[in-house]
Structure 1
């Protein structure tokens, strides 16, 4: 029985890390890394989580309130601009891929990989 359990754990340890890939942008969830064109892009924790949510919900508009509640974990009253500022920073770091994050005026943001 112990050998069986050990083999299961060994297989799980060898499993591929969870990744989200869209075009040349790759989010390595386990390694907390963003890789673009083979280069590691430094994102803060909040930026990483925002990009992760947008990429996981590709094509769907994510409201500022939803992003605030999900990433910050609580209502951030009168400070919805905090999302805008983080999105601005993410776009700057994504460079030519920044156009993948679309603004939905007065609502929020969505991710589209068709650059």
Structure 2
């Protein structure tokens, strides 16, 4: 993971330093921004940003505005930091394409672990880089998905969720198991987050969305 560049956006210098110190220990290059406008300026100037850690409450332009604009131009992974822990804020973040959502106060070690997990999956390669089931094609290297030849736009987490379903075709998956494997063991959010992502994923898959079957009282299964 060495030399990967992370943009840390927070109007509190002490918070930026805390996050930067932990990420530097893991070998990442950290670029800092103290407000939303500066974050966007840096993002457009530097094409090597691998991940963004973005605070919500900031001067000039808040985190929601920044996230919304970045998502219009890029699928770069975004971790949102916020002092609010209300469900509607978390759901808004996922609707805007946020990949992880962490409420303050948080453990810097946990944040660093999530950063590593996201970047590891984003940059991983394998011998099975292209998966296909009934006209749905996943390209892990390009991080793209197409349905019957037409590419569809998925967020990072939607992509990871669909890939996990592909790799476990026909297997009944509990919400807890999906959380552990797609959101990682250190995710402390509500399991209903999965239902929100599945609903959006089904919609984007169109008629093929019916392949994601609901197992009432348990979770989901991907198959015929």
Within the alignment, does 1:31 sit opposite 2:170 as a pair? no
Aligned counterparts of 1:30 and 1:91: Cα–Cα separation in 2: 23
- The equivalent residue for 2:152 is 41
Q: Where in structure 2 are there 5+ consecutive unaligned residues?
A: 1-126
TM-score (structure 2 length as normaliser): 0.42
Query: What is the aligned residue count?
Result: 98
Q: CA deviation at 1:74?
A: 2.7
Q: CA deviation at 1:75?
A: 4.8
- The equivalent residue for 2:221 is 110
Q: Which has the higher contact order (CA 8 A, sep 6+)?
A: 1
Q: 2:177 aligns with which of 42, 49, 66?
A: 66
Aligned counterparts of 1:31 and 1:50: Cα–Cα separation in 2: 16
Q: Where in structure 1 are there 5+ consecutive unaligned residues?
A: 1-15
Cα pair 1:17 1:28 within 8 Å, conserved = no
Within the alignment, does 1:98 sit opposite 2:215 as a pair? no
Q: CA deviation at 1:42?
A: 0.5
Aligned counterparts of 1:109 and 1:53: Cα–Cα separation in 2: 11
TM-score (structure 1 length as normaliser): 0.79
Aligned counterparts of 1:78 and 1:105: Cα–Cα separation in 2: 21
Instruction: Supply the RMSD in Å over aligned alpha carbons.
Output: 1.6
Q: CA deviation at 1:59?
A: 0.3
